[in-house]
Amino acid sequence: MNLALENKVAIIVGSSSGMGKATARSYAQAGASVVLAARSKDKLDNLKAEIGNRAIACPTDARDVDQVNHLIQTTLDKFGQIDILVYATGTNIPDRSLEVLTHETWEMMIGTNLTGAFNCTKAVLPTMRKQQSGLIIYLSSGCVQSPDVSGVSYQASKHGMSGLAHGTFQEEQENGIRTTVIFPGLCDTPIVLQRPTPTPPEVMAKALKPEDVADACLYVATTPSRARIPELILLPAGL
């Protein structure tokens, strides 16, 4: 068994499904202690039971600062350190075109996809500064490189993650803190079900799997601290 992350503690925000769930499994298999965070307590509990004693579940809405602070404190109380934060939470909506997008749905999208990432970053930095080490991985989207019809709120929030990642590194690199932003292309996750027009099965057959993104997250996490991967683009080979 490859225990490349043994003695490491990782918080996976958005670990109830999709890429976050696959990453939590991958990190645990690599020896890390994982803190499972998402809004769905039942899904987190099921994943915790599957992973076993390497995991704890902490239901968290990343849009809520108090809940995020509780997540960080719970992790420290249990493990005493935080080596890796993965922000894998993301959502989209069927009513995504400018014609039907409302101020309320815009705020929800920015809140979930971007403000939540800021809240988690802000909360974890004091611990990583004290440790003089830490890695933050943000899961963005391939739409940043190739604009598509995923909607302006989705695209704006995913572009914003790049600014958050790179800006954080510029301010925190002297504290031993690294950041990486990963841009996955079409992936077979539940978010695809939010598309206003279903994606044809023959297209989905060529999509990435969550485990592909998890492998990328594991690769970044096992890179020596002397090295940094600012960005990683992961696209389906057949699309």
Enzyme catalytic residues: 154
| Cα(177)–Cα(237) distance, integer angstroms | 32
Sign, Cα dihedral of 183, 72, 135, 223: negative
Task: Check: CB of residue 86 under 8 Å from CB of residue 21.
Answer: no
Task: Check: CB of residue 189 under 8 Å from CB of residue 236.
Answer: no
For residue 200, give both structure tokens. Answer: 């044809």
Centroid of chain to Cα 36: 11
Residue 180 CB: number of other CB atoms within 10 A? 23
- C-alpha atoms less than 13 angstroms from C-alpha of 157 in its C-beta half-sphere: 25
| Cα(223)–Cα(210) distance, integer angstroms | 20
| Cα(71)–Cα(86) distance, integer angstroms | 13
- C-alpha atoms less than 13 angstroms from C-alpha of 17 in its C-beta half-sphere: 14
Task: Give 96's DSSP letter.
Answer: -
